[in-house]
Chains A and B, each alone.
Chain A
């Protein structure tokens, strides 16, 4: 029994795996102390062998178990030590990744498309460099109309035939292009860049508009009022918005109206749907029969309405962005502050902001 005690003491004292292995070889190895004793069994009588053999097997198991257990302890201790040595400072910065943003105009583009897309409005587009017919004549803007003057419209140089291309002054030419290329019923919105010779605190020579057009046989001003009210509620995410509809004049609509929404300017920030101030947000009206005719349709049969509003402007109103000019300056500080997260895709079920 001293052998057992001796071996187990050695096992318990082993401080590394190599020592344990040496003990294993010295005891259970081919020439190990226990193996050597096993060899002596052959010379014993059957009875002696039975007793001694059993005892040796027990010893063998005990030693093997003890070595395994000790090995487990040593490995655990070693792991603990390694883990302790591997500690990092997690407060050091993570690997830098640039954080991208989506421009407010782009974000609002998607918001508006979500709303009107739900009502079956397709998104129509047209060229920015337009001809006189689509930008003016077809929209019932006569040759002598002040809007054609150089102080409002960007012109290109005269061509040999005397014609001049223009930078479209509104998205309304898309109305004409759509009517000429498709059959009623028509429901489109036409967002895009527009250009006017204007530059001051609140005007930029380029800005974004969004046009709407409905042409069928029955749509009337009541529908127009409804769709504008529903749009404003959905876009500005308010339960109710008071709207004021004012008669106005545009060459391409008859009757025409301008639309104001109620807002408050408390604390220098505009809040839509609250307060008692009025803010003009769009122009609209029933499409002028001359425009329907220019679109290749019969005004005796077809009617409808159109509206136009500033995409930049509604972005400013909704998100409290103070200066229109900053939209186009590509100042990183502004883009990062007013831009939207890469995956903040506006949807009707998920919310528009």
Chain B
């Protein structure tokens, strides 16, 4: 919403400075987007008189001007075709900074003639793009008059952002009311003396709705006979131009003026183009109209139109029609001031894609009680500026009843805002905003003004008091601590998230945060793409499906980074993946990928490419950091389809609770995503980790033995299908009391589908050192156990 300071002052009697007004606007909740004040920028530019514009002796296209300025007569070389003797122009003298270039003007010599100043074009002063000639100052301005004054630019323009709850502030009068309540002046009373009609309008109006007439409860019209349309007066054009509107003709300019002055949109029909009488009705499906923007629109039966006997002549509350629009030759005019339903207007405008000043106001809710007043103010302007004879008003329907009142308890401002605004102050503020205020036993009974559709209860009244009183006057009050020393606030999953994230960074991962939505084909590669996880209105096809896993984005990112020359990388993310659209379907995950070399080539040795065991170590480390009991995890081969079937594994606690996957990403997936490997990945589902049973901080007592552990090595020959884990389990199970650990330290392939596992078993004596017999006995148990479980034999 834009307005000029002078326009505001038409309604606000004030001595406040521009700065005070801007602060006041911000204070009452009308955020100031921009203040454009040309006074400073154009300070060096003044009116000058061209005494003579003669031909330049050395150039055909240049003129040599003798110019009278407030500091004497000077010579100026000018190239403008419109420079002429006797004109008034805008002069810049040496030292002036030219706004368009930012350069300081200096004395110059052009084709041998000295130029002691510059006659300026509009573009040079950043007033418009006009540069075909110099500014031809109209009016009887004295030499030396500041350019801003002579050009009517000494009126600062203020642009405020009006929140959608404040349609009343979409008229300058409403803004003036707020400022007056704030104490920045006095609101001038409306001058809206009814215009006396001299005849009955030949056009009548009817509201034709089935049932109630909610789409248009009120229509006020007036016929003007014998008006003279044409360009509007300079003052009106200037105000409209200042806020970015294009003057069209007096009649149209008047409607725009009332729209901005009072937030009251109007429409004028060329009465001679209206066939018969006017009615307001629902459009017919497929009904066509050529609107004022020059475009044709096809309407639906959910839209309201103003129609004559032939066709729809205007889209109610949105835009007028071309057929019955006013032109320079209009002599009989029909003025419309109506009230249209906000929701329907909004829906219509949205559906048709029309943005207009009228729609903007109607959809937020114009003041229905002001309809007739607006019509009278416009009538007076039409009579004053266009002449003609006004008819009696035509009124169809009535002002909808919006009367409602709410009680503001005397203590409520204090308890909700925390500041004691005296009751008289509260009353004054509410009254100044137009509320009817009455003292009752409970507090103040306040009736909402017709222009405030946003008032629906006591809290709204508090807000009114609060914004006018000023939020900056509300003292800050410390909150009480809930605990003298802060108590923990994070839950288990949040702690896991933090631990996983830090652990990943410690392991060398660069943490990324990537989109929750991914391309459909990526989702499909990773088991996603379900119908309920597809966005109905994605911003692009690249961001269409909720991600089923964090890995696809990391793989894609690895590809992008590799193309920039980062071949070896570790990327991680801790975030949500989506298995369905119910709250429980979202799981928090920690994932990482490694690409390229795990160890890059170096002076001590060769490079080593990443492999599944890097990802396995990552997964286990993250599980451990996140509080999983790592000694009870099972690792089984195989993982979801986006992993290499033979080089991937699942970490689980029983077949039903899968905690993590790791391994090489399937080559087909990489190919489909156009990312080159080697690339390994893991993903830990942080939600899936069982909560530790023990809640106590106390640790179990430490049991140690001073006796040295003994290790024994065994080499077993097994079928190549036998997994190391089965062998280790069997070895450990051979004597749980004595064997503290067992691990594979070498693997190699043998002939005939066999392989050899070299295993180191650690025996921990408890009370006394082992005898050879005891160790032999355990060895026999181990060998027997492994043989039974895996069919393995000791290699001879």
A339 CB-CB contact with B under 8 Å: yes
Known contacts A106-B574, A120-B483, A330-B512; A345 and B502 CB within 8 A of each other? yes
Contacts of A100 in B (CB 8 A): 504-511, 570, 572
Give chain B's interface secondary structure class.
mixed
Known contacts A154-B535, A187-B482, A289-B457; A339 and B581 CB within 8 A of each other? no
Residue interface bits B477-511, CB-to-A below 8 A is 1, else 0? 11101110011111100100010011011111111
A201 CB-CB contact with B under 8 Å: no
Q: In residues 84-123 of chain A, which contact B (Cβ within 8 Å)?
A: 92-93, 95-103, 105-106, 110, 113, 116-123
Contacts of B343 in A (CB 8 A): 144
Known contacts A167-B535, A249-B166, A255-B459; A119 and B31 CB within 8 A of each other? no
Contacts of A62 in B (CB 8 A): none
For the complex, give the distance between the alpha carbons of A125 and B511 in Å: 21
The contact of B576 among A128, A165, A205, by CB within 8 Å, is A128
Would you call A249 and B578 a contact (CB within 8 A)?
A: no
B600 CB-CB contact with A under 8 Å: yes
Q: Most A CB atoms within 10 A — which of B472, B502, B531, B574?
A: B502
Would you call B531 and A254 a contact (CB within 8 A)?
A: no
Would you call B346 and A144 a contact (CB within 8 A)?
A: yes
Q: In residues 532-548 of chain B, which contact A (Cβ within 8 Å)?
A: 532-539, 543, 546
Number of interface residues of B (CB under 8 A): 99
Would you call B489 and A98 a contact (CB within 8 A)?
A: no
Output the least CB separation between A117 and chain B (Å).
4
Closest to B510 in A: A335
For the complex, give the distance between the alpha carbons of A219 and B459 in Å: 15
A244 CB-CB contact with B under 8 Å: yes
From A2-10, A31-39, A50-58, A191-199, the one touching the partner chain is A191-199
Output the least CB separation between A48 and chain B (Å).
58
For the complex, give the distance between the alpha carbons of A120 and B460 in Å: 30
A328 CB-CB contact with B under 8 Å: yes
Would you call B467 and A247 a contact (CB within 8 A)?
A: yes
Output the least CB separation between B711 and chain A (Å).
28
For the complex, give the distance between the alpha carbons of A119 and B583 in Å: 29
Closest to A327 in B: B513
The contact of B502 among A99, A105, A343, by CB within 8 Å, is A343
A12 CB-CB contact with B under 8 Å: no
Would you call A330 and B31 a contact (CB within 8 A)?
A: no
Q: In residues 58-99 of chain A, which contact B (Cβ within 8 Å)?
A: 92-93, 95-99
A126 CB-CB contact with B under 8 Å: yes
A246 CB-CB contact with B under 8 Å: yes
B199 CB-CB contact with A under 8 Å: no
Residue interface bits B254-289, CB-to-A below 8 A is 1, else 0? 000000000000000000000000000000000000
The contact of B602 among A93, A254, A258, by CB within 8 Å, is A93
For the complex, give the distance between the alpha carbons of A103 and B483 in Å: 31
Would you call A246 and B471 a contact (CB within 8 A)?
A: yes
Residue interface bits B509-529, CB-to-A below 8 A is 1, else 0? 111111111000000000000
For the complex, give the distance between the alpha carbons of A254 and B412 in Å: 13
Would you call A335 and B512 a contact (CB within 8 A)?
A: yes
Known contacts A100-B505, A333-B564; A303 and B416 CB within 8 A of each other? yes
Would you call B482 and A120 a contact (CB within 8 A)?
A: yes
Contacts of A118 in B (CB 8 A): 486
B603 CB-CB contact with A under 8 Å: yes
Known contacts A102-B505, A106-B511, A117-B489; A226 and B566 CB within 8 A of each other? no
| A residues whose Cβ falls under 8 Å from a Cβ of B | 92-93, 95-103, 105-106, 110, 113, 116-123, 125-129, 144, 146, 149-150, 154-159, 164-165, 167, 185, 187, 193, 195, 197-199, 205-206, 208, 214, 218-223, 225-227, 229, 244-249, 254-258, 286, 288-289, 303, 327-333, 335-336, 339-343, 345
Q: Knowing that A185-B482, A330-B514, A332-B510 touch, tell me 20 more A-B residue pairs with CB under 8 angstroms.
A: A95-B604, A96-B599, A100-B507, A102-B502, A119-B481, A128-B586, A129-B581, A150-B536, A197-B539, A222-B419, A222-B474, A222-B477, A246-B27, A247-B467, A254-B457, A289-B458, A332-B561, A335-B571, A342-B506, A343-B505
> Could you list 13 examples of A-B contacts with CB < 8 Å?
A98-B570, A100-B510, A106-B511, A117-B489, A120-B486, A155-B535, A221-B419, A247-B463, A249-B165, A249-B166, A327-B513, A342-B502, A343-B505
